[in-house]
Amino acid sequence: MVADAEDALGWRGPLLAGVLGALFAGGVLEVSARSRPLDRVQAVDLTAVASEVKDGVPTWRSSGSVAERMGTPCGSRPEVVLVGSSIFYGSGIEAEESLRSQLAARLPEACVRLVAEPGYTFDNQHLDLSRYLQTTRPAVVVWEVWLNMPNRWSVVGDTAYNFGVHTIEPGELPSPLGLPSSVNRVLFTQLAAYRHLVISQMSSEGPSWKVVWDRFVEERLATSVALLNRHETEVVLAYMPRLDRSFDQSTGDETGPYAVVRAHFGEALPMVDVAAVLASRGAEVDAARIDTCCHFSPGGTSLVADALADALRPIVAAKRASGAE
């Protein structure tokens, strides 16, 4: 009997040690995973910001969305509304240095306001703009055109995820490991380590950019532009450049997403190719940026404000003249 007990302890001890070791390693892995952002996927904790979800589309307000950055009611002056993402918002710079503030200083005859938040893609922008249009009718909408514009956010529980070009049904999650939907959801929402695993297993391949942009422009952007035009709101599209290359290298790209936009609208819409304008004025990208993605420094934002102001002045003047008639 004593020998049997010793034999039992002999295998149970290593087994217990192995289980405890696995639990400890799993705990360390989970703690580490919770401290790291997801690769290739944006996530917004909707409980940490003022947020709302309508028809599966989330919108939110960050703490920096103060009056100086967003603008105040316009009164009788023609209203210019900037619609976009963190680029127009001015992530990384102070509110008084932001594009809205700098553009307002250049267009004193107009009133400039902002509908944008960091992370916004077209659907978020469109929903926020639709709410905005319930109480006012702007003279001009300047819509930021950026590379992730067609992407859609998926809301799962209290978190919104941007899975990029991957088409995920509303409320669903990617499941590259083939687990049942219910199991996948529980693991994804509860375990950060599993979220990282799922994202790492997602294929980087999706529909070609041309397929994505053709569909996006035809079905979504063009529809919104037509609606605004019917309400006598002028739409100006502003192509925002990548900042990992010189402005010369970003100018006149006829093989990328912006070419799809130009091909669809032709001469029907005013368009500002920011890279082309800045290149023509000898601007250096190193001095104009705060990162190699897309965000401008205060000085770079000043250059963008100059470019937009030049395009907007004749439009605003025409709107003022038509309003006075």
* pTM for the full predicted model: 0.85
Average pLDDT over residues 303-311: 98
For the chain, the farthest-separated pair of C-alpha atoms sits apart, in whole angstroms, at 107
Same domain for 30 and 131, yes or no, is no
17 lies in the same domain as 139: no
252, 300: one domain: yes
DSSP, collapsed to helix, strand or coil, labels residue 91 as coil
Residues 300-304 have a mean pLDDT of: 98
Domain assignment of residue 120, given as a range: 43-151+207-324
CA dist list (Å): 28 to 14, 33, 35, 36, 231: 21, 9, 11, 13, 57
Q: Print burial letters for 108-123: b (CB count within 10 Å at least 16), e (below 16).
A: eebbbbbbbbbbbbbb
> For residue 22, what pLDDT is reported?
57
Q: Are both 270 and 211 inside the same structural domain?
A: yes
Type and span of the H or E element at 68: helix 67-70
What are φ and ψ of residue 281, in 5° steps? -100, 10
* Residue-level pLDDT at 324: 44
The better pLDDT of the pair 202, 219 is held by 219
CATH of the domain at 72: 3.40.50.1110
13 and 132 assigned to the same domain: no
Does the pLDDT at position 273 exceed 80? yes
Which stretch of 117-126, 162-171, 254-263 has the lowest confidence by average pLDDT?
Answer: 162-171
Q: Where are the beta strands (DSSP E) in 46-139?
A: 50-54, 57-61, 79-84, 111-116
Residue 194 within a domain? no
CB within 8 Å of 7: residues ≥ 6 apart:
none
Least confident of 11-25, 69-83, 135-149: 11-25
- Same domain for 218 and 84? yes
Asked if the model's pLDDT at residue 287 lies above 50, the reply is yes
Average pLDDT of span 250-263: 84
User: Would 160 be classed as within a structural domain?
Assistant: no
| pLDDT for 189 | 77
| Pair 117, 250 in one domain | yes
Of the two residues 215 and 183, the one the predictor is more confident about is 215
Whether the per-residue pLDDT at 275 is higher than 80: the answer is yes
Phi, psi torsion values for 46, nearest 5 degrees: -70, -15
> Could you tell me if 216 and 317 lie in one domain?
yes
The mean pLDDT of the chain is 86
Q: Are 16 and 95 within one domain? A: no
What is the rounded CA–CA span in Å between residue 299 and residue 143?
A: 21
Residue 175 or 53, more confident: 53
Number of domains in the chain: 2
